[in-house]
Amino acid sequence: MALDEFELIRRHFAVAELSFPAPGLVLGIGDDCALLEVPPGEQLAMSMDCLQEDVHFPAGCDPRRLAEKALRVNLSDLAAMGAAPLCFTLGLSLPQADTGWLAAFAQGLGDVAQQFRCPLAGGDTTRGPLSICIQVQGTLPRGKALQRSGARVGDIIYVTGRLGDSAMALPLVLGGDSALSDLPDADREAVLRAYYHPEPRVAAGQGLRDLASAAIDLSDGLASDLGHILQASGVGAEIDVERLPLSELSIPTATERDRLQAAISGGDDYELCFTAAPENSERIQRCMQELGLAVTAIGRIRESAGIEWRGAAPDIIEPGVTGYRHFH
Amino acid sequence: MALDEFELIRRHFAVAELSFPAPGLVLGIGDDCALLEVPPGEQLAMSMDCLQEDVHFPAGCDPRRLAEKALRVNLSDLAAMGAAPLCFTLGLSLPQADTGWLAAFAQGLGDVAQQFRCPLAGGDTTRGPLSICIQVQGTLPRGKALQRSGARVGDIIYVTGRLGDSAMALPLVLGGDSALSDLPDADREAVLRAYYHPEPRVAAGQGLRDLASAAIDLSDGLASDLGHILQASGVGAEIDVERLPLSELSIPTATERDRLQAAISGGDDYELCFTAAPENSERIQRCMQELGLAVTAIGRIRESAGIEWRGAAPDIIEPGVTGYRHFH
């Protein structure tokens, strides 16, 4: 029997694991609009990220992992703004209504939705090439958003976690089972997690609201995303390359140079890159320690434009290549 | 020279005609999130609608008209809830960065954005098959949303405007220039407008906040969308078929039966269907008159489930066909 659109949505998405009640979500799936209430003194932050098959993820990839990634990368934008997740909406385009695929996809979404207490509030399901458009909504106290434009000369530049894991994992993920089969089980799972399960730094973002001057999440690579902060703030930066927390993924064929390039130009890490006045340094370390999250000072904001990569071989930064781009 | 994603967005979308300031929009395009402020005592309404090439619109269609339609159908969801537009976000997937196409698309979006004072606040542009995912945000006083679940036995059922225009226009729009060329210029433009320029009943929706018991916008056809009100409210309906305000589009080949079927089962009208207690009848007429909008009482809510189409030939309602569906 053919499933119609409404039945499809109801069966897989209007379930307690995915569209559960949450503070501020007055009305969820099932009407012309969802309804939210923002507490007095708070603002609503929202961000949309769309993933296309064959562009952002390989065709035929595990729907549960794919769903996890799609929601995680969106939550990362809330993290970068210092917002607490409230709910998300889903625009899903599918070539056909495959019940097994939908069940796995909904399961992946539900796992992340529950982890971050961020339920599905609505959306649209259409027939078409596989693509996933998610918009996340979050809240934060008025005036406390971590914008890109706040970096000041003398600020220290930090990153959370390690850089380049996802870029290191990518060739193996794209290579599929044959590329992955050479790895021991634990390493294989680590590679898949690096690519599909980025950890949105939601708690860190909120903790940094009163400490950081500017923040962004690393989706296109350090060079590109730090560039956005510099441009929005009208400043430049010097980065101590030997301080970069390089990927430690166990990939026997990877060279040190691969790891360095992945850290600088690789995308999809979803760590936070942020700037802060030097006097906040101790409080930042303490805040991150409480969250069990590594944080590394990698450089400093300066007046003259651009990024100086100190201690890097001159050819490590390919001219013009600053990160992941569409429409080349 | 290749355009990168950021340049593409900046050039075409971060322009004053499209991403202009609006009350409540604290931060628009250009950071990890947009920021909104909802006035005290108000709620935020949001809705997402996605359009896919070859599913929701013909390949190669005029990008300016397409953009108009994409934003208009989304605003229609705000109208159906009684919300005032605040801003929208855009997830655009494009096979290539065609400057002419983007300029025309942005122009169409800008025209509608300005008409409804609903600027672009953010989004995502990706490479992929042409699809347009829009989320609209609006505000309305707490507790005043027009939900689908409020219809009560004895309520009168109304529709705004005329029904079936878009469904009548569809074969001509799909037939392209050759199908349209037989029509006089004015009729051809009327056909294109019926399909691409639905009028979201935004002012009407707000006017009905204190008058209607339930509302929905007609995107999938009267039979299907009224069905959603009935299901959500746990009631049934009887419709006086001869009262339906049929399409008056000038299409010489169309029969009366075609017009009736288009009104009942045709989609894409984006008129409001709403229910209201009989004692509100006069105020509803007055409200709609002030807006210059036709409103027609087409039937009544009753207890027994389903829709009785009074005065219709038994075969006018094809069994099982209640409106537009995906995934057949």
Domain count within chain A: 2
Domain boundary residue, one of B123, B141, B159: B141
Give the closest-approach CA distance of B77 to chain A in angstroms: 5
Which residues of chain B have a CB within 8 Å of the CB of A80? Answer: 32-33
Looking at the structure, do residues A127 and A239 belong to the same domain, yes or no? no
Higher-pLDDT residue of B131 and A175 is B131
Task: State the DSSP H helix or E strand holding residue B76, giving kind and residue range, or none if neither.
Answer: helix B63-81
Task: Please measure the distance between the N-terminal and C-terminal CA atoms of chain A and give it in whole angstroms.
Answer: 43
The Cα–Cα gap between B90 and A304 comes to 35
Looking at the structure, do residues B306 and B163 belong to the same domain, yes or no? yes
Looking at the structure, do residues A164 and A305 belong to the same domain, yes or no? yes
Residue B324 lies in a domain: no
Looking at the structure, do residues B9 and B90 belong to the same domain, yes or no? yes
Which residues of chain B have a CB within 8 Å of the CB of A52? Answer: 93, 126-129
Looking at the structure, do residues A291 and A239 belong to the same domain, yes or no? yes
**pLDDT surpassing 70 at residue B5:** no
Test A50 with B133 for CB contact under 8 angstroms.
yes
**pLDDT surpassing 60 at residue B172:** yes
Give the closest-approach CA distance of A7 to chain B in angstroms: 10
**pLDDT surpassing 50 at residue A122:** yes
Looking at the structure, do residues B193 and B89 belong to the same domain, yes or no? no
Looking at the structure, do residues B203 and B179 belong to the same domain, yes or no? yes
How much is the pLDDT for B157?
A: 98
Residue B177 pLDDT grade (very low, low, confident, very high; cuts 50, 70, 90): confident
Residue B327 lies in a domain: no
Least confidently predicted of A248-252, A285-289, B259-263: A248-252
Looking at the structure, do residues B221 and B103 belong to the same domain, yes or no? no
Residue B277 lies in a domain: yes
Please state, in angstroms and as integers, the Cα–Cα distance from residue A2 to each residue in A6, A98, B95, B328, following that order: 12, 11, 30, 5
Which residues of chain B have a CB within 8 Å of the CB of A55? Answer: 126-128
Looking at the structure, do residues B154 and B277 belong to the same domain, yes or no? yes
Which residues of chain A have a CB within 8 Å of the CB of B129? Answer: 52, 128-129, 131
CATH of the domain at B35: 3.30.1330.10
User: Which percentage of chain A shows pLDDT scores above 90?
Assistant: 75
How much is the pLDDT for B72?
A: 97
Residue A315 lies in a domain: no
Residue B328 lies in a domain: no
Residue B23 lies in a domain: yes
3-class DSSP string for A7-41: HHHHHHCCCCCCCCCCCCEEECCCCCCEEECCCCC
Give mean pLDDT, residues A241-251: 93
CATH of the domain at A265: 3.90.650.10
Test A4 with B325 for CB contact under 8 angstroms.
yes
Q: What digits encode the pLDDT tens for the residues B56-85?
A: 888 889 999 999 999 999 999 999 999 999
Residue A322 lies in a domain: no
Q: What is the mean pLDDT of chain A?
A: 91
Looking at the structure, do residues A111 and A182 belong to the same domain, yes or no? no
Test B35 with A44 for CB contact under 8 angstroms.
yes
**Pick from B36, B78, B123: which is nearest to A43 by CB?**
B36
Instruction: Look up the domain containing B63 and give its range.
Output: 5-141
Looking at the structure, do residues B16 and B106 belong to the same domain, yes or no? yes
Domain boundary residue, one of A141, A168, A198: A141
Give mean pLDDT, residues A255-264: 93
Least confidently predicted of A104-108, A285-289, B32-36, B172-176: B172-176
Residue A2 lies in a domain: no
How much is the pLDDT for B21?
A: 95
Residue B229 pLDDT grade (very low, low, confident, very high; cuts 50, 70, 90): very high
Domain boundary residue, one of B120, B141, B162: B141
Looking at the structure, do residues B42 and B156 belong to the same domain, yes or no? no
How much is the pLDDT for B1?
A: 33
Name the token pair of A230.
């510099």
User: Which percentage of chain A shows pLDDT scores above 70?
Assistant: 95
Higher-pLDDT residue of A322 and A256 is A256
Residue B4 pLDDT grade (very low, low, confident, very high; cuts 50, 70, 90): low
Q: What digits encode the pLDDT tens for the residues B104-163?
A: 999 999 999 999 999 999 999 988 999 999 999 999 999 999 999 999 999 999 999 999
Strand partners, A141: A42
